[in-house]
Amino acid sequence: MLARTPSAILPTMRRVTASPRTSSVSHSARAARCTRRTFATHVEDNFRIPIIDFSKYRDAATAAQKEETAQEVVRGFTDVGFIYLSNHGIPEETVKHTFQKSAEFFSMPIEKKAELAWRDPRANRGFVQVGRERVTQSANADEIRQLREKAPDYKESMEIGRDWDKTYKNYWPREVDAPGFKRSMLNFFQTCHELHVLVMRSIALGLRLEETFFDSKIHEQYHNLRLLSYPPIKTQLLRGEGTARAGAHSDYGTLTLLFQDSVGGLEVQNPRTGQFQPATPIPGTIVVNAGDLLARWSNDVLRSTLHRVVAPPAKAISETEGVTPARQSIAFFCNPNQGAEISCLPTCVVPGGNPKYPPVTTEDYIVGRLKATYM
């Protein structure tokens, strides 16, 4: 789903540019500029994913400083749909440790990982082997099946949800097979949820809502922690039509917190030109993007932007063949509460205007997308 030209009752917003408060990674795109009453669009020469110093929100000395950073966050999601967060509050040691435990899990024998296989889109938990998933914007199960057979996603993943859920349980490896894995992932899950709450508060403030507006709508932690491993692969297998490490798609929920290694491969679509451009890994930052439900909530004021993962440059092993390096990433898919109704926010439609989307519950939307993606 590509975000459309937004209209909303929001404060005056200026374009995000490189400055001591907000630096940026250059790309090319359209930016939306907001007047006091409505957004007006104009074409910019550069497509930019802003780098936002989130400590200026977390540790704001004044209400004005907090609001300024909140507006920077909203501008990033309005203009591009993606931001980089620096000084986000998650220690680098915590991120490194989680990557280490993820790598240890994926190094387990395939037989042991297969015992933890993903089974149910309502649960969305467990191990997903290479080729099982085919992410795409299509919601047609037959079309996705054909895409999967023709050009599967060359990655494996481990899906982890809230561990106290009474209906759906996580699949954990035995402690002897992956020492400390369960404890590390549960701690990281909680850490990411706490950052999600803060970012959603900044979005609420930037949209002229009460700062805690979303708190009661996300407290159930109906999230998904996805560990991702992209094994080395011969370039010949990536030459097929439509083939990618992960196909072009938008995410389903409110936000995605993406932790990248140094290999890279994430590309974001310029909403104006349709071209995909790299979201280069920047040490110490988290890539954060808006998902479909946040776009629906905001009446497309905030963009749910298409993105994909492509193979990094390969190492030659013959005159005609190469091998790509392995890649790791960790995605925390933030969602509203399971039964939350997602309907147009009051500040995101002009007086007398109509919402673009009918109300939908979190579970209905996400389970519907997962069924089509995996089945």
Task: Judge whether 56 and 70 are in contact, CB under 8 Å.
Answer: no
- Is 80 exceeded by the pLDDT of residue 149? no
Residue at 37 is within a domain: no
Residue at 59 is within a domain: no
Residue at 210 is within a domain: yes
Residue at 309 is within a domain: yes
For the stretch 228-266, pLDDT in tens is 998 887 666 665 554 556 778 899 999 999 999 998 889
Q: For 75-89, 95-109, 346-360, which range has the lowest pLDDT when averaged over its residues?
A: 346-360
Bigger pLDDT: 135 or 184?
Answer: 184
Residue at 67 is within a domain: no
CA distance 365 to 4: 19
Task: Judge whether 230 and 309 are in contact, CB under 8 Å.
Answer: yes
For the stretch 189-231, pLDDT in tens is 999 999 999 999 999 999 999 999 999 999 999 999 999 998 8
Q: In what order do the strands lie in the sheet with 307-309?
A: 246-249, 307-309, 266-269, 276-278
* Residue range 160-169: mean pLDDT, rounded: 95
Reported confidence tier of residue 131, pLDDT bands at 50, 70, 90: low
Residue at 49 is within a domain: no
The model carries a pTM of: 0.81
The per-residue pLDDT for 87 is 98
Reported confidence tier of residue 372, pLDDT bands at 50, 70, 90: confident
Range of the domain at 156: 75-374
CA distance 337 to 363: 8
Residue at 18 is within a domain: no
The per-residue pLDDT for 375 is 52
CA distance 141 to 127: 21
Whichever domain contains 312, its CATH number is 2.60.120.330
- Is 50 exceeded by the pLDDT of residue 30? no
Residue at 127 is within a domain: yes
Report how many domains make up the chain. 1
* Residue range 50-78: mean pLDDT, rounded: 97
The per-residue pLDDT for 245 is 60
